[in-house]
Amino acid sequence: MKKKPTDSIRHRDQLVISDLDDYALAKAVEDRYLDLSHTYERINHDILLFPDSMSADLLRWREMRVRHDEGDLRHSDAEMQSVRTIAQWTLDVNNEIRNQKKNVLDWKEK
């Protein structure tokens, strides 16, 4: 059986260099989540928790943020997908507690 050339295959967990937009998006999602967490606690007198279904996304996002904070500005496709998932969830919860209609984020592909 003939092997495929590895240079043409990009794995979902392969790290690539983050551009400034990727870095800013991951940081902004963190900032928005912290703001939302405080707002949620003030309004509902309860702690905002991620759903169990998002635990893998949360783990990937936090690993990427720690890496970025340490100066290693790389990410994987899976991590960026997790950032998008958390951004959408944050927007959904924010709209819910403010009694606004749901909005779907429109992502521009690179």
- Res. 3 pLDDT band, cuts 50 70 90: low
Look up the pTM and report it.
0.84
pLDDT tens figures, 41-62: 999 999 999 999 999 999 999 9
C-alpha atoms less than 13 angstroms from C-alpha of 58 in its C-beta half-sphere: 10
Distance separating alpha carbons of residues 28 and 34, to the nearest angstrom: 10
In this predicted structure, the answer to whether residue 87 has a pLDDT above a threshold of 90 is: yes
In this predicted structure, the answer to whether residue 85 has a pLDDT above a threshold of 60 is: yes
**Average pLDDT value for residue range 7-34:** 86
User: Hey, what long-range contacts does 72-77 have (CB within 8 A, 24 or more apart)?
Assistant: 73/17, 73/18, 73/23, 74/15, 74/16, 74/17, 74/18, 75/15, 75/16, 75/18, 75/22, 75/26, 76/12, 76/13, 76/14, 76/15, 76/16, 77/10, 77/12, 77/13, 77/14, 77/16
Q: What is the domain partition of the chain in residue ranges?
A: 14-97
